[in-house]
Amino acid sequence: MSAENHVKIAIIGSGPAGYTAAIYTSRAGLEPVVFEGFEPGGQLTKAGRVENYPGFINGVPGLKMMDIFQKQAQRFGTQIVPARVDSVDFSVHPFKLEVMKKTITADAVIIATGASARYLGLPSEDEYCYRGVSACATCDGPLYRGHEVVVIGGGDSAMDETITLASFADKVTIIHRRDEFRASQFMQKVALSNPKVQTRLSCIVEEVLGNEAGVTGCRIRNAKTGEMEVIPCTGFFLAIGHKPNSEIFKGQIDMDEEGFIFTKAGSSATNIPGVFAAGDVMDKDYMQAITSAGSGCRAALDAERWLVKSGLRD
């Protein structure tokens, strides 16, 4: 950053979307600055191994993958700032970002803050995170071929996870705290018609069980009878939604009731000219590393074109 703390493009957040946006904008000579936040590389750094990203024949640990992305961005001149953006002001231009009690101004901003999977909040859940506890069947389902797994949730996401897991696992048990599912009838029919799928309704997960090797089961309590039961499993999949990391943008950027940022059709542009969004913070449907990277590329190209059109591109 210059002495005046002004940047051409500020990228808020890292991960596949943020780093890809940085690679493209830095190669374009726009000297982007990435504010990584408190979780450099995003949630993918917690993934044990990424098997479905093209180019990594034998898979790659999520942490290593994000390190490669970061180094590639830095190779082209991206400046990485290991700090969180505390607040933004998009009502003025250049835009204002408050970072570590300093004001940074930017001609364009790319939001790539991601989304966090919702967890139950159990200590044992944290203990076995990525050692059997997962929030992505598409990512981790193939690891459980021939295993028994559970899915926590009752909406369409839970049914979708169940359908994916049933193509690999020998048995899938859906655990839901209510006495009926909230998922659409169609999704329920597809998921529950599979003979591999069983259900436990009106049940609350009390504890994830495991050992040094990982998850071995979960203890559930029937909310109506109080009866306890242990469900054997090696995979414990959460499907109770994601929380977009968009709090600091509320009131300035258009978003849905959950906090996912709206972008214009066929574009990464938000309702604020010069502000773009990429990755899971605006994509509630796919949430994959490759789709996030693709949207980061789109945001970078959109931002560069906007700067040119606005006469702000050197």
* Catalytic residue IDs: 136, 139-140
Neighbours of 21 (CB within 10 A): 35
Q: What residue ranges in 195-267 does DSSP mark as E strands?
A: 197-200, 203-211, 214-222, 228-232, 235-238, 242-244
Q: Helices 62-75 and 15-27, interaxial angle, to 10°?
A: 20
Place of tokens 């859940």: 125
Assign residue 240 a region (left: φ > 0; alpha: ψ between -120 and 50; beta: otherwise). Answer: alpha
Place of tokens 């000579």: 29
CA separation for the pair 292, 6 (Å, rounded): 27
179 neighbors 201 (Cβ within 8 angstroms): yes
DSSP-derived secondary structure letter, 257: T
Q: Helices 15-27 and 289-309, interaxial angle, to 10°?
A: 40
Beta strand 85-89 with 95-99 is antiparallel
In three-state secondary structure terms, 165 is helix
